[in-house]
Amino acid sequence: MPATIDLRSDTVTRPTVAMREAMAAAEVGDDVFGDDPTVQRLEELAAGMLGKEAGAFVTSGTQSNLCALLVHCARGDEYLVGQEAHCYLFEGGGGATLASVQPQTVRQRADGTLDLAELAALVKPDDFHYARTRLLCLENTTWGKVLPVSYLAGARGFADRHGLAMHLDGARIFNAAAAGGTAAAEIAAPFDSVSVCLSKGLGAPVGSVLLGRRDFIREAKRWRKMLGGGLRQSGLLAAAGIHALEHHVGRLAEDHANAKRLARGLADLGVDCDPVQTNMVFAHLDAPQIAGFVEHARARGVLVAGYAGDPVRMVTHLDVDAGGVDRALGVFATFLGA
Ligand SMILES: *Cc1c(COP(=O)(O)O)cnc(C)c1O
């Protein structure tokens, strides 16, 4: 039986041989004492790539976004956020529970942007009946879509008019950069803080980096400690992150090409897919078909993420090449009767 083709997410990637070698060779220290040289090198490398002053290596994207909320907002403040954004919807309600920060959600438009006029109407007046609106959180890419750079500049203007900070959940910012032909630092520029995942399409086993001004990162590291994220010889993990940033950013375009190939193949099989911008394919099967489709594929070594009512999600990454995409399409064809 050939290897499984796992399209459920780009988090499923396994460290490559070269990445494991980099981990094994990493020079380490105790990062809680601030003397792990490999962690420092990762934080500086990521900060440089994103055009920010400093970085904090954190255990996950969830911890990164939560640290950012905790620094930008005090207890009883609120943040503006898309209602399908990861840092509102998929982080267990941590912003409300652990940061005591209230989310003010807003509908996301088809292109992933939030309407600035709608947001303006949601900023609370200075009156103790209301929470204090402090922060705008955006996500890029969001559900595989790239936010237009011109939109980001407009959002910065909006935030400045209302005295808000801006945080970017840039879990896949390098996918946005590759797809839009824009430098990641340019995408990050309007934001006060940016969170980047190393463990998605970049292929590291663990970790995210939170970036911002030096004083912001100093505060973020206090919260990281309180959240249980102070790690010791974490240079072993940071080495994987450095390897990912040095060797796996340039190849993201391959994932995007493979996602387009997958969507084209599905279209040939009569399945309607959302337009593909990055590494995510959303395939619209009929609701009663979905469970059978997922199971048919699983039994033949192809894993996809499907829940009744939602489009089936397939994500390309460095462990799936064009041949793997074609093999997956062959499996889908036997279900779809083509
Ligand atoms: C995966 C993801 C996160 C969180 O990352 P974890 O490391 O899984 O906690 C945050 N935001 C977005 C958009 C993500 O895709």
- With a 6 A CB cut-off, is 175 part of the ligand 1 pocket? no
Strand bridging mode 272-273 / 312-315: unpaired
Q: How far, in Å, is the centroid of ligand 1 from the Cα of 126?
A: 33
All residues at 6 or more sequence positions from 59 whose CB lies less than 8 Å from its CB, including other chains: 206, 207, 208, 229, 231
Residue-level pLDDT at 337:
82
CA–CA separation, 240 and 26 (whole Å) = 9
- With a 6 A CB cut-off, is 9 part of the ligand 1 pocket? no
CB 108 within 8 A of CB 190: no
- With a 6 A CB cut-off, is 192 part of the ligand 1 pocket? no
Angle formed at CA 96 by CA 147 and CA 103, multiple of 5 degrees: 40
The protein residue with its alpha carbon nearest to ligand 1, atom 5, reads: 61
CA–CA separation, 309 and 323 (whole Å) = 30
Condensed to tens digits (0 to 9), the pLDDT of residues 222-245 reads 999 999 999 999 999 999 999 999
| pTM of this structure | 0.97
All residues at 6 or more sequence positions from 154 whose CB lies less than 8 Å from its CB, including other chains: 116
Is pLDDT at 308 greater than 80 in this prediction? no
Is pLDDT at 194 greater than 80 in this prediction? yes
CA–CA separation, 237 and 163 (whole Å) = 37
What confidence category does residue 338 fall into, taking pLDDT thresholds of 50, 70 and 90?
low
